């Protein structure tokens, strides 16, 4: 099924969890923030959040600086 990752179309298998997708997209082990369809998803929900066709997923990494 198709979803949007940071405004780019990508394919994922049906019934893919957010945590599995994060690993697939090579963000695993990184400090990230995730929003799906404009709503923040807490890290504790990554394993239970099932992606659906058409989801808009935004993944950002915090940038340090001063």
pLDDT tens for 7-59 read 999 999 999 999 999 999 999 999 999 999 999 999 999 999 999 999 999 99
Quick one: pLDDT band at residue 63, thresholds 50, 70, 90? confident
Residue 32 lies in a domain: yes
- Can you tell me which residue has the tokens 């997923």? 57
Instruction: Please report the beta strands in the chain, taking only residues with DSSP state E, as ranges in sequence order.
Output: 2-5, 8-11, 33-36, 39-41, 56-60
How many domains does the chain contain in total?
1
Residue 66 lies in a domain: no
- Nearest Cα to 48, choosing from 11, 13, 20? 20
Q: Calculate the dihedral angle through the C-alpha atoms of 63, 10, 35, 56, rounding to the nearest 10 degrees.
A: 130
The whole domain housing 6 covers 2-60
Residue 65 lies in a domain: no
pLDDT for the residue 66: 66
Residue 23 lies in a domain: yes
């Amino acid at each position: 099924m198709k979803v949007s990752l940071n405004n780019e179309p990508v394919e994922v298998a049906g019934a893919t969890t957010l945590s599995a997708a994060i690993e697939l997209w090579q963000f695993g082990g990184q400090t990230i923030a995730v929003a799906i369809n404009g709503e923040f998803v807490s890290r504790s929900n990554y394993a239970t959040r099932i992606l659906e066709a058409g989801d808009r997923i935004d993944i950002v990494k915090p940038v340090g600086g001063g």
